[in-house]
Amino acid sequence: MADTTQTVTVTDEVGGVAQDLARASLAMARRFSAGATMWCASPNWPFHAHHVAVEFVHPVIMGKRALPAVTVPPAADMVASLRASVVPGDIVLVLADADDARVVETMRRGAAWGVETVWIGAGKHRPAPGSANHVIWLHTEDPLEASELFVRIYHLLWELTHVCFEHPGLLKPEPECTSTGEVGSVCITCSDEGRPAEVVSVDGDEALVRTPEGQEHIDVSLIDPPAPGDLVLVHAGFAITAATEPGRSV
């Protein structure tokens, strides 16, 4: 049992996250500029998700843009709720531990849904490499210290995102590789070897799948029959492989 004495200590963790905050903020500003809605979720700490959403919707500084941010209800089936709601170009921001299965399942669908994923958390275990477009991770294992620093992190994300709006020339989408590396082992813009897709329905050797470009029918005769919700890689109209199980936290 940890001791209950006095105040928590705040180690100076900013060195490890300043660059990540900068990159995530620019990516979020680009997505917001293109019309994104940001979906905020924190299954174990719903108050953090509420705080992020209210921060963006109702800025504390007068005159700053109100941005569309929504809290995913903590009681919701996170994957089902987001699957029904997100559109390509949206942002999914999650505060959660690295081994939260609901979050792992959500984030690995990011590439098929075409959303930008941001995962904020703390502790010894980080999400597996490529689990999200942006991972902002603290080292502390003290839950109270982590909770305090989460507030700093999302305040800074808001502040830096608004700084980016002062640079309209940099808000145009960058022609860059956006693969998270996890679902699509090959990037869709770098090669055509495999595009991540989520199965919507299956009819024999044919399946309807969802990709960032929309829904399409593919041939699934080359792989074990998939089920709705499964992730596959698509090449030239064929599912060439089922996407592997999510990586373990490291």
- Amino acid identity at 165: F
By beta-carbon proximity to another protein, the closer residue of 113 and 119 is 119
CB 118 within 8 A of CB 91: yes
Residue 205 touches another protein, criterion: CB under 8 A: no
Smallest distance, another protein to C-beta of residue 94, A: 16
As given in the structure block, the two tokens for residue 183 are 């679902």
- Radius of gyration of the chain from its Cα atoms, rounded to whole angstroms: 19
Please select the residue that binds another protein; options are 34, 35, 58, 227, rule is CB under 8 A: 58
Least Cβ distance, residue 177 to another protein (angstroms): 15
User: What distance in Å separates the CA atoms of residue 152 and residue 100, rounded to the nearest whole number?
Assistant: 22
Cβ of residue 21: shortest distance to another protein, in angstroms? 5
Write each residue from 160 to 199 as x if it is in contact with another protein (CB under 8 A), else as -, in one continuous string.
x--xx--xxxx---x-------------------------
Grouping H, G, I as helix, E, B as strand and the rest as coil, residue 49 is: helix
> Amino acid letter at 115?
V
Find out whether 26 and 164 touch, Cβ atoms under 8 Å.
Answer: yes
Residue number, 7 or 63, with CB nearest to another protein: 7
- Of the candidate spans 107-115, 120-128, 158-166, 236-244, the one that interacts with another protein by CB under 8 A turns out to be 158-166
Are 170 and 59 in contact by the 8 Å Cβ rule? The answer is: no
Q: CB of residue 214 vs another protein: minimum separation in angstroms?
A: 29
The residue range among 127-135, 144-152, 222-230, 235-243 that interacts with another protein, by the rule CB under 8 A, is 144-152
Nearest to 153 by CA among 44, 28, 58: 28
Using CB under 8 A as the binding rule, whether residue 34 contacts another protein is answered as no
User: Which helix (H) or strand (E) element contains residue 80?
Assistant: helix 78-85
Our finding on whether 55 is near another protein (CB under 8 A) is yes
Classify residue 142 by burial, with Cβ atoms within 10 Å: 0-12, 13-18, 19+: middle
Q: How far is the CB of 48 from another protein (least distance, A)?
A: 7
User: Interior CA angle at 201 toward 127 and 73, to 5°?
Assistant: 50
Residues that bind another protein (CB under 8 A): 1-2, 4-8, 10, 12, 14-15, 17-19, 21-23, 25-26, 45-48, 50-51, 54-55, 58, 60-61, 143-144, 147-148, 151-152, 155-156, 158-160, 163-164, 167-170, 174
